[in-house]
A and B are shown apart, each in its own frame.
Chain A
Amino acid sequence: MGLEDLYREIIIDHYRSPRNRGELGEPATRTEGFNPLCGDEVVVFLDIDEGGVVTDVKIGGQGCSISMASASMMSAAVKGKTIDEVQQLTSSFKSMMSIHEREIGGDGSESEADSIVDAEFPMGDLEAMRGVVKFPVRIKCATLGWNTLLQGIDEHPAVS
């Protein structure tokens, strides 16, 4: 396994040119996420309309290439989606990032795990993050933005 599995071109592109970088004012929510291992911090600003659609999302904070690229790709993927869709997508992404579930389920073969993930939700560009699983210490980097997003949705006044 080589670094090219981890640092795919599209990941480096999102790292160098992050999408939806910035802040949102009221009534958007602001949620901070921390990676206690390295001190990385991601801030997710979230606008959700009355229909439960994510109308805008912005990303702040600082972190490594993987955490920043993952948050950037996430912001592009969830904008315009309903909360339900976002939650499904997040769950698909997290199961793609989960080596443990993969090891526990079935015979642990990758093809089987892949088919389970693919069946859940189309991943699009996010597929590029799949290589991160081969570098277990970086999984937390990749999921930081997504966990912060989930927390932001839970705390959003439009969701309850």
Chain B
Amino acid sequence: MSPLAGHKADFPVLARTFDDKPLIYLDSANTSQKPQMVIDAMAEYYERSNANVHRGSYKLAHEATEALEGARAKVARFINAPAVHEVIFAKNVTELLNLLAQTWGRANLGKGDAVVLTEMEHHANIVPWHMLAAERGIELRWIPITPDGQLDLREIDRLLDGAKLLSFTAMSNVLGTITPVAELSALAHAAGATVIVDASQHVPHLPTDVQAMGADFVAFTGHKMLGPMGIGALWGRTELLEAMPPFLGGGEMILNVTKEGFTTTELPWKFEAGTPAVDAAVGLGAAVDYLSAVGMEAIREHEVSLTGYAMRTLTERHGDDITIHGPSEPASRGGVFSFTYKGVHPHDIAQVLDEQNICVRAGHHCAKPLMKVLGENATTRASLYLYNDESDIDALADTLSAADMFAL
């Protein structure tokens, strides 16, 4: 019995049944479920404290502002940010990476400049750079992956030579690979490049210290870390954020507006035009409290152990019929595994699993360049979190055989 076993009961949706059978949720890399505490915090915000923020002259508005800024402080502490004003909220990592491409990117990248990505990026960390490449004529370079699903760093010096930016994932959403963030940040800085880390899969599952990571920007999203949808956070170094032009223009982000122009306000609000998702920020703050109470070390330990169990169980049960992509060693990966089974299309696998209420993701996982490298059109992906246990894995292993009807 895992030391985290009691926590499943904190997630109301996990008590749901379909056709009198329990729900088995193995899609947390896609979005996590929410503990009652997060749901309650958001309801309480609306029941007690709702008002618009940063502009009300009354007590209720002050309370709403405190709720938003209190959540920002919690998030900053959670990732060991040196300063609270270095944490910027937006709706998700996709928006934050577009923010970086449109602000830092447009201010710093011109024709012929090189941006280095990896072959295991999510489309959110590819398309914004493609868009800028089309507009600015910048060059995209790609760090390849090894057959074991690790970054292949043999050519890293050549790839970083003369590059202006390295933007990469801290943990692959397809392979679960945990990348050497501090090492890559140091190499990129030595080559004179700025560093962006997509930590969408990292912050929810591993202790995260942005100072130890050594990057310049770290982006992550609330809904994958027990928080609500509609909020993500970016940590960035003060001097870089201050030098960047604003992203969206409008209310909240200005110091002054005249008929002739405008001046921007201070960090972090410079990048937060318009009324923010205060409810979602409050929910994210509660999620951070929940994760901190359980302990990120304990969560990581649980997931390493469960990942090992999953890889052993699936391999023992299905032998050569199953191929699990990514690192073979559980300690160097997160609880995300993409697999193929007997050549059956992932949609058909997901369909027969859903018959037993097992939720997995089938498809390219918003990482088509990686699919091409893996030589797959699509994979089935199961992903874990603190509320999963061995019985979930057993159900997956048992039910997979039902896909045999599609084996050609």
Interface residues of chain A, those whose CB is within 8 Å of chain B, are: 2-3, 6-7, 12, 15-16, 37-41, 62-67, 135, 138, 141
Contact = CB atoms under 8 A, between A and B. Distances in A.
A16 B368 CA distance: 26
A138 B346 contact: no
Interface in B171-227: none
A2 B356 CA distance: 11
B352 interface: yes
A34 to B, nearest CB: 10
A30 B178 CA distance: 41
Contacts of B377: 39-41, 62-63
The 6 A-B residue pairs with the shortest CB-CB distance in the complex, in nearest-first order: A64-B347, A38-B363, A64-B345, A39-B364, A39-B378, A65-B348
A65 B364 contact: no
Contact of B347 (A2, A12, A16, A141): A141
B134 interface: no
B408 A38 contact: no
Nearest to A66: B347
Interface size class of B (residues with CB under 8 A): 10 to 19
Nearest to A37: B363
B355 A3 contact: yes
Contacts of A66: 347-348
Contacts of B364: 38-39
Interface in B353-379: 355, 362-364, 368, 371, 377-378
A17 B358 CA distance: 29
A141 B378 CA distance: 14
Contacts of B238: none
Contacts of B368: 39
Contacts of B345: 62-65
Contacts of B348: 64-66
Given A38-B363, A63-B345, A65-B348, 12 more contacts: A3-B351, A6-B351, A16-B408, A37-B363, A39-B368, A39-B371, A39-B378, A40-B378, A64-B348, A65-B345, A65-B347, A67-B347
Contacts of A40: 347, 377-378
Interface in B326-353: 345-348, 351-352
B406 interface: yes
Interface in B365-401: 368, 371, 377-378
Nearest to B363: A38
B352 A39 contact: no
Contacts of A67: 347
B293 interface: no
A86 to B, nearest CB: 26
A82 B48 CA distance: 66
B357 to A, nearest CB: 13
B363 A138 contact: no
B1 interface: no
A80 to B, nearest CB: 28
B243 interface: no
B363 A39 contact: yes
Nearest to B408: A16
A125 B251 CA distance: 59
Contacts of A39: 363-364, 368, 371, 377-378
30 contacts: A2-B355, A3-B351, A3-B352, A7-B405, A12-B405, A15-B406, A37-B363, A38-B346, A38-B347, A38-B363, A38-B378, A39-B363, A39-B364, A39-B368, A39-B377, A39-B378, A40-B378, A41-B377, A62-B377, A63-B347, A63-B377, A64-B345, A64-B347, A65-B345, A65-B347, A66-B347, A67-B347, A135-B351, A138-B351, A141-B347
Contacts of B405: 7, 12
Contact of B362 (A7, A15, A38): A38
Interface string B116-135: 00000000000000000000
Contacts of A16: 408
A40 to B, nearest CB: 7
A65 B349 CA distance: 10
Contacts of A63: 345, 347, 377
Contacts of A2: 355
Contacts of A7: 405
Contacts of B362: 38
B399 to A, nearest CB: 12
B406 A65 contact: yes
